[in-house]
Amino acid sequence: MTAGEAYNQFDPELIARRVKIRKALQTINQTPDNDTRNHAIRALLADSGPDFFVESEFKFDYGFNIHIGDHFYGNYDITLLDTCPITIGDHCYFGPGIGLYTPVHPITAAERNADVELGAPITIGNSCWFGGHVTVCPGVTLGNRVVVGAGSVVTKSFGDDVVIAGNPARVIRKIQQ
């Protein structure tokens, strides 16, 4: 699964991990103390930098595929579907309602009906800023210093120093450093 190979999403081991994470996040997301909540979330992730802050309703499937750099801020209602690795660089800021989705569902009905699922990793560079309600699709890599406009759906990869927006997202401006 983590390598992007076909897997059965209803595998008992995967279901058990999702249930464990769901139960933990149900309690953690209701914790009003920021330090306690963020420490508990960090303990469920593969790794994150020490300066890590998320608001409540931070959700993910497994945690072991999530790698977040230092100086991360995530606003309310962040969803990371981590079938494959999700890597987020340093100094990244996410607005509310962000979704990073690594699962890839087959196009053909026969494969979907057979519960075949794949995944593709998502990589976000350093110093990126996402406006509210951004969706990032499987297999996307964003370079450093990328700004993603609110409501965008990112379906393909982009390099450094661009502002992207729209559905599908496209470059609307280059950033001069």
| Active centre residues (catalytic) | 105
Q: What type of residue sits at position 93?
A: Y
- Retrieve residue 143's tokens: 């370079």
User: For the residues of 34-63, what is the DSSP string, one character each?
Assistant: HHHHHHHHHHHSSEE-SSEEE-S-EEES-S
Q: How far is CA 129 from CA 37, 68, 89, 94, 147, in A?
A: 23, 14, 11, 6, 5
